[in-house]
Structure 1
């Protein structure tokens, strides 16, 4: 009876299956690494701004509270970007002739707002309410990182769905006294006291983690 397959056919089939499997696994690994890469999440990336504003100088060195510039953060879903008038409350007296502040002076004289480029931004299909997080004691540093150490502001967290859900499903470790939400350094916060505070805060505010991962909480 004539032989249908050559002696090497089995070897070629094994090699083909191996290469196909390797390719599939490699594609999955690449895809998983890609979606979590800084290229996609923009973690650690800065954005060009019309004025090189330094949070390190204003927050870290001068001690300006976050709410002075982001004045809507306690009452609105949007934190708000500072108006030129806010900038000029200081810079009408300080560094009045600094070339780097020319866009600020021009904006103030013309009434044309400065076009800041957002660094921390969730997708358009996601609803995020700053006010509710602030009132419940989620500190600014949780999402925005140590801005008091950023000469140029960069994105500190990926703002991916899983990252948000991790907090929603276990909010206790992330809660702080609401009046202290703008504090940057929590390294001296006693772990035991923190654990008790988070547990009591969840109870006091009626926070139910079982409801916080419902799709309609963020997708409306």
Structure 2
């Protein structure tokens, strides 16, 4: 019976099969790296705002507390964006004719809010409550980074499901006394491990249920 395939066919078949497997692995690896890259997560990229507000100046240099502008952070699911009136509390007296503040003056004169671009956000199908986190001792800088060093606000963390679940499974490393949640560059005391263990009980933190789907998807 004549031979249908050449002797080299086996080698070619193995090459094609192994090449296909390697290609799929490379595609999967590249896809995973892309999903975690700043290109898609937006980490480190500053968003264009109607006014180039500098957290480095207002928080780092002037020492303004987060709650002054984000006044819903302790009581609401949303931290809140600053109203024009909050800006004008100071800027009705300071830099009153600065060109960069013209949108704020126009906003006040027309009674139309500024359209700030959200830098840190989660998808609409994710429920996130700021008040729960800060009142349980999760600091602003844990999720938002060192905003007092940011001339323009940029996302510091990916805020992905994987990233959030990492904290929900093991929240202790991110806990601190709630009264210190708004401090930047916080230096924990030497006995912080014991403090965090006690905070888990005192603040009623339950890691065993914090990864249930309904916690974030309601």
> Could you say which TM-score interval applies, normalised by the shorter chain?
over 0.9
Aligned-pair Cα RMSD in Å = 0.9
Matches within 5 A, 1:163-202: 163-186=163-186, 188-190=187-189, 192-202=190-200
Counterparts of 1:64 and 1:207, CA distance in 2: 30
Q: For 1:16-37, what per-residue CA distance to the aligned partner results, in whole angstroms no more than 9, with x for missing partners?
A: 1122112111111111111111
Matches within 5 A, 1:24-35: 24-35=24-35
Cα displacement (A) at 1:170? 1.1
1:205 corresponds to: 203
Matches within 5 A, 1:33-182: 33-182=33-182
TM-score using structure 2 length: 0.98
Runs (4+) off by over 3 Å: none
- Give unmatched runs, 5+ long, in structure 1: none
Counterparts of 1:133 and 1:80, CA distance in 2: 15
| 2:74/2:130 contact within 8 Å kept | yes
Q: For 1:116-162, what per-residue CA distance to the aligned partner results, in whole angstroms no more than 9, with x for missing partners?
A: 00000011000000011111111100000000000010000001111
Counterparts of 2:36 and 2:58, CA distance in 1: 32
Question: What secondary structure, in the 3-state scheme, does the structure 1 residue paired with 2:208 have?
Answer: helix
TM-score using structure 1 length: 0.97
Number of equivalences: 218
| 1:138/1:176 contact within 8 Å kept | yes
| 2:122/2:159 contact within 8 Å kept | yes
- Give unmatched runs, 5+ long, in structure 2: none
Question: What secondary structure, in the 3-state scheme, does the structure 2 residue paired with 1:210 have?
Answer: coil
Counterparts of 2:111 and 2:95, CA distance in 1: 20
Counterparts of 1:25 and 1:158, CA distance in 2: 24
Q: For 1:57-109, what per-residue CA distance to the aligned partner results, in whole angstroms no more than 9, with x for missing partners?
A: 00000000000000011110000000000000000000000000000000011
Is 2:6 aligned against 1:6? yes
